[in-house]
Amino acid sequence: MTGICTGRVAAVTGAGRGLGRAHARALAAEGAAVVVNDLGVAADGAGGSAGPAQQVVEEIRAHGGRAVAHTGDIATDDGAASLVATALDAFGRLDALVNNAGFLRDRMLVNLAEDDWDAVMRVHLKGHFLPLKHAAAHWRAESKAGRTPEARVVNTSSGAGLLGSVGQANYSAAKAGILGLTLVAAAELARYGVHVNALAPAARTRMTERTFASTMAPVEGAFDAMAPENVSPLVVWLASADCTGVTGRVFEAEGGRITVMEGWRPGPTVDKGARWSPGEAGAAARELLLAARAGRPVYGVS
């Protein structure tokens, strides 16, 4: 099997269903050996089963690819470490990490329980940090041993992380945190041959059933703009050696559209050269806001 990832090894978290499954299959189709991680939990994180990860492994192998399942909890230190160890034990190397695992506990802010906040932060934000930490430690050791890798990390954020989303304060905060983690990791790990980028995808998955309810169903014979497989080609490229020089960037991907997000940049500014009074600061802020571009609305606000 040949392609832009031939000879590379990729680990994909949350790869038993939805976007993760599509990414794992697309990476394998382009020649990568894949570690398919999934706990097999419900959409809210409850339960667990080895079935989804193993099913994706079997699908990849049926098409001539190489894959192994990993069912450890990547939001624990031991689980994240074992993800990297599984790649090294099964295939002898690790070249790319696609952080994708997650679930939802949606509530309006005043109804959001502490456990729902903690659970979503844990799987999305901590579940990105720990695999990234252990993969980075391996790649740093390789670099220091004179074997500088062409390593790649693709983190999964969301439009909710870029703009916010009503009823998803926990999810939006976690996904925004992933963007900050991406920027820091890209800066810190560049010296070791590691590129780190983030993706804000929009696609039909268990997590987006309510969000995209009016646009979910594909029309027979037409381009299915919400298919998870539309997002995967960009993920495969970002996981390949071909994306040399691209790091610390954030992309949106939906259907046939790819957008480079430009992030926070300084807008209108004024400097008094001395301390403002509260009234003066307020007047100055209002003047600056009149000159500034309006922000995009939070998802769910009409």
pLDDT at residue number 45: 60
CB 207 within 8 A of CB 101: no
Which of 82, 165, 175, 232 is labelled catalytic? 175
Residue 216 pLDDT: 53
Would you state the structure tokens that stand for residue 45, as one six-digit string?
Answer: 């994180």
Is residue 192 annotated as a catalytic residue, yes or no? no
Give dist(CA 115, CA 196) in Å, integer.
30
Domain span at residue 36 reads: 9-261
Assess if residue 97 is contained within a domain: yes
Question: Does the residue 233 lie in any domain?
Answer: yes
171 is catalytic: yes
Contact 104, 158 (CB under 8 A): no
DSSP of 21-53, one letter per residue? HHHHHHHHHTT-EEEEE-----TTS-S--SHHH
The set of residues, in sequence order, having a beta carbon less than 8 Å from that of 182 and lying 6+ positions away, is 155, 157, 196, 197, 198, 248, 250
Is 275 a domain residue?
Answer: no
pLDDT along the chain (302 residues), means of 10: 92 96 98 95 66 96 98 97 98 98 94 97 98 98 97 97 95 97 98 98 72 57 89 97 97 95 93 96 96 91 82
Residue 102 lies in a domain: yes
Q: What is the pLDDT of residue 215?
A: 53
Q: What is the pLDDT of residue 102?
A: 93
Q: Which two structure tokens, joined as six digits, stand for 300? A: 């769910």
Closest of 23, 36, 41 to residue 119, by C-alpha = 41
Q: Is residue 174 part of a domain?
A: yes
In a domain, 280, yes or no: no
Is 144 considered catalytic here?
no
Q: Which one of the listed residues 82, 126, 157, 158 is annotated catalytic?
A: 158
The answer to pTM > 0.85 is yes
H/E stretch holding 97 reads strand 96-99
Q: Is residue 168, in this structure, part of any structural domain at all? A: yes
**Placement of tokens 């990476």 in the chain:** 27
* pLDDT value, residue 219: 65
**Domain count along the chain:** 1
Residue 107 inside a domain? The answer is yes
Q: How far apart are CA 20 and CA 154, in angstroms?
A: 12
Q: What is the CATH number of the domain that holds 168?
A: 3.40.50.720
Q: Give pLDDT, residue 137.
A: 98
Q: What's the pLDDT score for residue 40?
A: 80
Tell me, what amino acid is at 81? A
Catalytic residue among 126, 171, 232, 240: 171
What kind and span of H or E run contains 219?
A: none
Q: What is residue 300's DSSP assignment?
A: T
